Amino acid sequence: MERSSPILQLIALFLLPYLFNHNLAYTTTDLRTDELSLLAFKSHITANSSHTTLGKNWTTKTSVCNWIGVTCGSRHRRVIALNISYMSLVGTIPPHIGNLSFLVSLNVSGNHFHGDLPQELTHLRRLRVIDLSNNSFAGELPRMWFGNMTDSLEELNLNFNNFSGIIPQEIGHLCNLRILNIRSNKLNGQIPASVLSQCSQLQELWLSHNNFSGTLPIEIGNMTQLQKFRASGNKITGTIPQEIGHLSNLRVFHMRDNLLSGQIPTSTLSQRSQLQELSLSINSFSGTLPKEIGNMSQLQKFWAYSNNITGMILIHVFLG
Ligand SMILES: *[C@@H]1O[C@H](CO)[C@@H](O)[C@H](O)[C@H]1NC(C)=O
Ligand SMILES: *[C@@H]1O[C@H](CO)[C@@H](O)[C@H](O)[C@H]1NC(C)=O
Ligand SMILES: *[C@@H]1O[C@H](CO)[C@@H](O)[C@H](O)[C@H]1NC(C)=O
Ligand SMILES: *[C@@H]1O[C@H](CO)[C@@H](O)[C@H](O)[C@H]1NC(C)=O
Ligand SMILES: *[C@@H]1O[C@H](CO)[C@@H](O)[C@H](O)[C@H]1NC(C)=O
Ligand SMILES: *[C@@H]1O[C@H](CO)[C@@H](O)[C@H](O)[C@H]1NC(C)=O
Ligand SMILES: *[C@@H]1O[C@H](CO)[C@@H](O)[C@H](O)[C@H]1NC(C)=O
Ligand SMILES: *[C@@H]1O[C@H](CO)[C@@H](O)[C@H](O)[C@H]1NC(C)=O
Ligand SMILES: *[C@@H]1O[C@H](CO)[C@@H](O)[C@H](O)[C@H]1NC(C)=O
Ligand SMILES: *[C@@H]1O[C@H](CO)[C@@H](O)[C@H](O)[C@H]1NC(C)=O
Ligand SMILES: *[C@@H]1O[C@H](CO)[C@@H](O)[C@H](O)[C@H]1NC(C)=O
Ligand SMILES: *[C@@H]1O[C@H](CO)[C@@H](O)[C@H](O)[C@H]1NC(C)=O
């Protein structure tokens, strides 16, 4: 066997200390990356940045791990959570956010952020929570953003913004989503059936106060984990599909102020039902109130005013 060349031995000698300190060097360098990302974020806060708590606090004088709203991991000392909610911030979210590669949770709710959702957010493969609610984001929900988003995502809150257009099919790629909240935007079109059948892990789906139309797809019966479904204040037509009776975990079902008709489905109203809140007011339901409602042992709140249902007096008999 040949001896390794002296040059190689020399290289190995130089590499040894580097390899030894590799973890430390790696961490420090990358915490610097996190710092640069957040400083870029700060520079995109356009209004009152220097006057805000954040503007004064996010400086290189201290470690980024001490900055307000920033949480670092205890083991890796990298930024894992950013919570700058309700700080009266005005600005955009820059692409640099995509460099916070250890980020698990991003919460910017209750500010005045606007502009595009940066595609670079899809680089963050560890993200579990995104809360962009109650800001001024507008325009269509970006297909590519959903198509490429990490499937580690469990909670996505886009409520109280100005998003318009339809729900992109690509949202169905987020197969581990537990909570999807898009209430109070300007979304329209049908609730896509493919989304409902693909997002089988969804526990909470909030669609209220948009402009959705069309019928409730029967695929809603495939969302076996669903606990809370709220779609009040839309223009949803047709009947409530019987398949809803398959949802053995369903606790809250709000469909107030839509254009639903037909009978209130008795399949939802069995003794086994876990339903606690049922809101069907301001629709066009007809017929008589099914007497099965009296067997729903968990039911705490039931609203059905402003329909064409007879036998309303029974509510008091059964629930009183
Ligand atoms: C920015 O600061 C000015 C005065 O310092 C204040 O009048 C204004 O309301 C602030 N704007 C926001 C959005 O906080
Ligand atoms: C930033 O705020 C944190 C938490 O309130 C505090 O511990 C830290 O000292 C502040 N840093 C500066 C530079 O003001
Ligand atoms: C996020 O920050 C707000 C203050 O801005 C605080 O009230 C809230 O508890 C924080 N949430 C989490 C999950 O740390
Ligand atoms: C961070 O991201 C931006 C934009 O995506 C990129 O231009 C920049 O080179 C990155 N910076 C570092 C320090 O990685
Ligand atoms: C984001 O922060 C707000 C206010 O601090 C809080 O109410 C909300 O629950 C947080 N969002 C998530 C997903 O934790
Ligand atoms: C949205 O945030 C503003 C502060 O920016 C607050 O006054 C308002 O109550 C919030 N709205 C909701 C629905 O949370
Ligand atoms: C949404 O847009 C309307 C104008 O189209 C504007 O008046 C409203 O303030 C916007 N809402 C938010 C939360 O940005
Ligand atoms: C992911 O993003 C790339 C561009 O960055 C795009 O070409 C591709 O179609 C996207 N994938 C999905 C499934 O949306
Ligand atoms: C809601 O959708 C209907 C069509 O279904 C459309 O005519 C109407 O302009 C939309 N309203 C808003 C506020 O977007
Ligand atoms: C949805 O549930 C129905 C039964 O109600 C079943 O036939 C169908 O295969 C399911 N679809 C998916 C995509 O799981
Ligand atoms: C209600 O439950 C009782 C048993 O506790 C059963 O005998 C009755 O048939 C049920 N009524 C309806 C309408 O399902
Ligand atoms: C209400 O239902 C009755 C029959 O149950 C029917 O005659 C009447 O036309 C309906 N009214 C409306 C407004 O749908």
Give the closest residue to 68 by CA, choosing from 47, 86, 84.
Answer: 84
- Ligand with smallest separation from the Cα of 311: 12
Length of the chain in terms of residues written: 320
Residue nearest ligand 1's atom 10 by CA: 48
**pLDDT (tens digit per residue) in 154-173:** 999 999 999 999 999 888 88
- Residue 26, pLDDT > 70, answer no
- Residue 205, pLDDT > 80, answer yes
Distance CA 167, CA 230 (A): 16
286 lines ligand 12 (CB under 6 A): yes
Distance CA 276, CA 254 (A): 11
- Residue 1, pLDDT > 50, answer no
Question: What pLDDT is recorded for position 250?
Answer: 94
Question: What pLDDT is recorded for position 160?
Answer: 98
- Residue 16, pLDDT > 50, answer no
**pLDDT (tens digit per residue) in 180-193:** 999 999 999 999 88
pTM recorded for the entire structure:
0.87
Task: For residue 95, report the distance from its CA to the centre of ligand 4, in Å.
Answer: 8
Question: What pLDDT is recorded for position 306?
Answer: 92
Distance CA 184, CA 194 (A): 22
- The residue ranking higher by pLDDT, 188 or 292, is 188
Distance CA 164, CA 203 (A): 24
Question: What pLDDT is recorded for position 13?
Answer: 47
- Ligand with smallest separation from the Cα of 136: 7
Q: Is 197 helix (H, G, I), strand (E, B) or coil?
A: helix
Burial 86-108, CB ≥16 within 10 A → b, else e: ebebbbbbbbbbbbbebbbbbbb
308 lines ligand 12 (CB under 6 A): yes
- The residue ranking higher by pLDDT, 47 or 265, is 265
All domains of the chain in start order, with CATH: 37-318 (3.80.10.10)
Distance CA 270, CA 266 (A): 7
Residue nearest ligand 9's atom 8 by CA: 211
Question: What pLDDT is recorded for position 3?
Answer: 53
- Ligand with smallest separation from the Cα of 135: 7
**Is residue 135 very low, low, confident or very high in pLDDT (cuts 50, 70, 90)?**
very high
**Is residue 75 very low, low, confident or very high in pLDDT (cuts 50, 70, 90)?**
confident
Percent of the chain clearing pLDDT 90 (strictly above): 62
Lowest mean pLDDT segment, chosen from 33-37, 121-125, 266-270, 273-277: 266-270
**pLDDT (tens digit per residue) in 264-275:** 887 777 767 899
- Which two structure tokens, joined as six digits, stand for 136? 């001024």
